[in-house]
Amino acid sequence: MATVDTAPADSPTPPVQRSGVPAGSCVPPTQPRTTPGETCAPRTSHAQAAPLEPHATTLIGSVQRAMRLLEAVAARDHGAPAKQLAREAGLALPTAYHLLRTLVHEGYLRRDKGLFFLGEAAEQLSSSGAQQKRRSTVSDALAHWRDSIGVPVYYAIYRDGEIEVMCVADTPGNPAVEEWADFRETGHAHAIGQCLLSQLDEKARRDHLDRYPVQSITPYTVRDNDSLLRRLDRTGRMEPVIERQEYALGTVCAAIPITAGSTAGTMAISLPSHQAERLLPAARQLQSEIGKLLGTLAISISI
């Protein structure tokens, strides 16, 4: 006859090491984007559509019970014993013991001196959720500025010695600049890169240029490292960085510096060169809007 273990193990199995849960990200400029008003959910025919509400018989009771235990643990900052958790989750003690041991084994809980706490896997889920919320906030802000100012809006940071374009908001009528030459390798030629480099110290700038030296992209591109460094030295601390056809012929760009701690970031816009007179006023409007949002929502620039 099978027996049921109703007591917690003295030495629970060590948690399994898990990688972080992938978080949603803003769409980079080299990948297709949905048009305004279009959702990212796949279309489903009426014949294939799933019912809106799950039938009771399709629900997994053990999953539901495990979720109730996790919620009970999360509500206790200083941990709780199995008996208390079973009572709060409305479970029989033997059932709670088995679920708790499984959650410890999987890394979602940890046990210390008879008390249960959230484990690394659960904390990763929480961290990823907060990160997704920040990404969504930034993405929504870019879309708002795209529509209110009528220009493509870019968000980029300088991280681990590299220029990273994190998010782009554009429309078919106002498309983003095509990345025909790698943004990371041509930071000297576009407003995003120049703005990020202007926020670095001299050593970091020279290190970047040692890895990605100045090269001619268009007839308007800065000609050598020293010329670029002199330009960066003259850049005002909070002034928009303006670039005219240095990266792409027929395009002008402006970038606004954003700094938080040791991370350099920027929001940028682009326009066709025949609309160059709009560039600086649009950049000033963006800078004003950024100041309002950062002041009220405290967006983290490290997505």
51-104 pLDDT, tens digit per residue, is 444 555 556 788 888 888 988 988 887 888 999 999 999 999 999 989 999 999
Phi, psi of 136 (to 5 degrees): -65, -40
pLDDT value at residue 126: 59
CA distances (Å), origin 161, targets 166, 230, 254: 15, 20, 22
Question: In degrees, to the nearest 5, what angle opens at C-alpha 113 toward C-alphas 109 and 119?
Answer: 15
Tokens describing residue 158: 């300088």
Mean pLDDT, residues 285-296? 76
Is the predicted pLDDT of residue 247 greater than 80, yes or no? yes
Which of 40-49, 56-65, 190-199, 204-213 comes out lowest in average pLDDT?
40-49
More confident residue, 206 or 78: 206
Residue 234 has what DSSP assignment?
H
Is the predicted pLDDT of residue 26 greater than 50, yes or no? no
Tokens describing residue 185: 């390798």
Mean pLDDT, residues 20-41? 37
Judge whether 192 and 29 are in contact, CB under 8 Å.
Answer: no
Q: Give the integer Cα–Cα distance in Å for 164 and 187.
A: 10
Residue type for position 119: G
Q: Give the integer Cα–Cα distance in Å for 272 and 40.
A: 29
Intra-chain end-to-end CA distance of the chain, in Å: 55
Judge whether 265 and 155 are in contact, CB under 8 Å.
Answer: yes
Strands 115-118 and 263-272: unpaired
Residue type for position 282: A
